[in-house]
Amino acid sequence: MKKLSFGLLLLMVLAIVSCDKDTDNNPDPVEEEELTNEEKAQELLLSLFSGDTSKVTMYVSANQYTQHNHRYADGRNALISAVLDGDFANTQLDIVRTLTDGDLVAIHSEQIHTNASSIVFDVFRFQDGLIVEHWDNVQESQMENGSGHNMIDGTTTIEDLDKTEINRSIVSDYITRVMIENNYTLIPEYLAEDQNLIQHNPMMMDSLAGMLSMMDTLSEQGFAYQYETLHKTVAMGNFVLTISEGRYGNQSEATAFYDLFRLEEGKLREHWDVIEAIAPDQDWQNQNGKF
């Protein structure tokens, strides 16, 4: 009996050791961490310019994709077709800034073409982890302005996440009181004591005096620069993007204004913008409008 008991015990020990080895050799599969909406939006944009349509299938809803770019129809199949047709070919994408605000992700980027480049804002709306709506604004890149800034360089660090709503309110108030209501004399209220706003608009300079002088010159020349409606804001910490509608240029064309502001201690410190004429109705491939 003693020999039999010892033998059984030995077999049991060997069996346990064998099970442990099997467990070590075949660990449980580790689930991949779900990407954030910001990461999905970035991956999607980058994939378009690489000719890869798999990210469209992965991150864009098959049931709903509302398009506000006049060149494309609704639905993710239209986006896939655009990639396959070479709409994004021979272009390099450089993502510079990304803001996440609830179900919205805004991306500020430069599209570098063979002989030119464009500055772009893309805004995506997510629902249940998938992209269901897209807006954008595109402007051909210009030379550096009189203060030595181009349309995309400058600060990229997002700070003060606890002040997002305060900063959103300040910028919304600025767009409404100054730009829509044409109260340019109120601009100093929104600037720091040194009255310096770092400008990336190619026609403006950093100084308040230079900015006001430019606005006066445009007005005297009959060049429209009129904001009419603030449609949307995307805010994250010390950065706030506003999407507005108005009139611009010698022909006073219907125009979309995308303005990005960086704030310091509740004051406007840096400004980027992208201005694009709204295409006439007959040129639209969808019925959704620019905004």
Q: What is the pLDDT of residues 89-105, one digit of tens each?
A: 999 999 999 999 999 99
Residue 276 within a domain = yes
The pLDDT of residue 211 is: 85
Q: How many domains does the chain have?
A: 2
Residue 137 within a domain = yes
CA 178 to chain centre: 24
Residue 152 within a domain = no
Same domain (yes/no): 51, 110: yes
Same domain (yes/no): 69, 172: no
Provide the domain limits for residue 44. Answer: 37-141
Same domain (yes/no): 271, 166: yes
Residue 269 within a domain = yes
User: In the beta sheet, which residues pair with residue 262?
Assistant: 239, 270
Residue 12 within a domain = no
Is residue 19 very low, low, confident or very high in pLDDT (cuts 50, 70, 90)? very low
Q: Which two tokens stand for residue 15?
A: 């069996």
The CA-CA-CA angle for residues 174, 126, 239, to 5°, reads: 30
Instruction: Name the domain boundary from 113, 141, 169.
Output: 141
CATH of the domain at 67: 3.10.450.50
Percent share of the chain, pLDDT over 70: 89
Decide if pLDDT at 75 tops 80. yes
Same domain (yes/no): 193, 278: yes
Same domain (yes/no): 125, 222: no
Residue 249 within a domain = yes
The pLDDT of residue 210 is: 81
Instruction: Name the domain boundary from 110, 141, 172.
Output: 141
Is residue 9 very low, low, confident or very high in pLDDT (cuts 50, 70, 90)? very low
283, 129 contact by CB (below 8 A): no
Residue 130 within a domain = yes
Q: What is the DSSP letter of 185?
A: G
Residue 18 within a domain = no
Mark out the alpha helices in 1-119 (DSSP H runs).
2-25, 37-50, 54-59, 76-84
pTM of the model: 0.89
